[in-house]
Amino acid sequence: MAKPGTEHGPDALREGGLIKKLMGLGLDVHDYGDVGTPSHEDDHHFDLPVKNPKHVATASENIAADVYNVIKSGRTCLALGGDHSMAIGSIFGHSLAEPEHVVVWVDAHADINTPLTSSSGNMHGMPLSFLVKELQPYISKLPGFEFIKPCLSAKNIAYIGLRDVDPGERYIIEKLGIQSFSMSEVDRHGIKDVVEKAMHYLDPEGVKPIHLSFDIDALDPSLAPSTGTPVPGGLSIREGNYICEELAATGRLTCVDIAEVNPSLGNERDNLITVNSALSIITHCFGGRRQGTYPKNYQIPIPTH
Ligand SMILES: N[C@@H](CSCCS(N)(=O)=O)C(=O)O
Ligand SMILES: [Mn+2]
Ligand SMILES: [Mn+2]
Ligand SMILES: [Mn+2]
């Protein structure tokens, strides 16, 4: 999508063995292919510094339709980015299928700038602002985004991993009371407490579908160097895997985004490290456990002689 290079993220994960790894967990895996993300001529908005709005709008509408169809077919949806503006479509599509879902946003960044608080105009820093009901009075109407109905309340979101939050975003998080566990809270309380607190806050009854939007830059840059906005002091792969194992263990993880894998930004080694980290995160969302797993129908082989 909008950030050059992230369009190669899905194929990098496929080439890294994604499908085989998921099938190895005994899963019925279906690759729905790439979502249409056509570019547009003169794709800029005259009085706003928003970049590629039509491109993002078209892609978001296509993503929403595909995510909705996957979830309505009874499958858990894995959406591969692409930059994090992909979450506009994936979360909206999820909400059409499961209106009560909650969002765990794992990211170094808050991605909740409005078009007017953003200093970059990059839409990968804005996705949540288009989805949160309380922010709508502050969202400029952008052509192509008419399809979106804000589908989240602030109380439906919990952040984990924040460590690079803009002033406007900090104001929004505090004013709306969005639950956020920055890397300070991760260091202070440990990842177990953070996940427990986040899930108790979002869903104390333990009944709601969960949307995990995982930005690979939530991990420490040593684990995900091939990404557009790396920030030192990130999650370890153990902490990332733990989040995914715990959400998977609820049995209610319904949609997973993996955003910001950008193979055009790293050398071969960087890309291998980044893809392997992303594959670890994904497999631990879909039943992979560090204690080991085996397919449902597994039988230990018996000697024939
Ligand atoms: N807050 C900054 C950086 S946003 C980084 C977006 S992402 N999806 O986390 O890489 C901005 O709005 O440009
Ligand atoms: Mn992000
Ligand atoms: Mn990020
Ligand atoms: Mn980015």
Average pLDDT over residues 118-134: 97
Q: Which has the closest alpha carbon to 177: 149, 143, 201?
A: 201
pLDDT band at 46 (very low <50, low <70, confident <90, very high): low
Mutate to test the pocket of ligand 1, among 56, 122, 213 (most ligand atoms within 8 A of CB): 122
Instruction: Find out whether 95 and 11 touch, Cβ atoms under 8 Å.
Output: no
Q: In this prediction, what percent of the chain has a pLDDT beyond 70?
A: 99
State the closest ligand 1 atom to the C-alpha of 3, by its place in the atom list counted from 1.
10
CB atoms within 10 A of CB 295: 12
Whether pLDDT at 289 is above 70: yes
Give the mean model confidence (pLDDT) for residues 140-166.
Answer: 96
Q: Which residues are catalytic?
A: 84, 107, 109, 111, 124, 215, 217, 260
* Ligand lying closest to the C-alpha of residue 161: 3
For ligand 1, atom 11, name the residue with the nearest CA.
Answer: 125
Amino acid present at 281: I
Ligand 1 nearest-atom number relative to CA 164: 1
Structure confidence at residue 112 (pLDDT): 98
pLDDT in tens, 57-98: 999 999 999 999 999 999 999 999 999 999 999 999 999 999
Other C-beta atoms closer than 10 Å to the C-beta of 5 total 17
Q: How far apart are CA 241 and CA 285, in angstroms?
A: 8
258 CA to middle of ligand 2, Å?
10
pLDDT in tens, 247-273: 999 999 999 999 999 999 999 999 999
- Over 80: is that where the pLDDT of 290 sits? yes
Residue 1: its pLDDT value, please?
Answer: 46
Q: Angle CA(77)–CA(79)–CA(84) in degrees, nearest 5?
A: 140
What is the torsional sign of CA 159, 152, 279, 15?
negative
| Nearest Cα residue to atom 9 of ligand 1 | 109
Rounded to an integer, the average pLDDT of 130-155 is 95
Pocket of ligand 1 (CB under 6 A): 83-84, 107, 109, 111, 113, 118, 120, 122, 124-125, 166, 215, 217, 228-229, 259-260
pLDDT of 20 > 70? The answer is yes
Q: Please state the rounded mean pLDDT for residues 120-135.
A: 97
- This complex has an ipTM of 0.95
The closest alpha carbon to 255, from 66, 20, 76, belongs to 76
From the alpha carbon of 122, which atom of ligand 1 is closest?
Answer: 13
How far, in Å, CA of 205 to CA of 207, rounded? Answer: 6
pLDDT at 222 over 50: yes
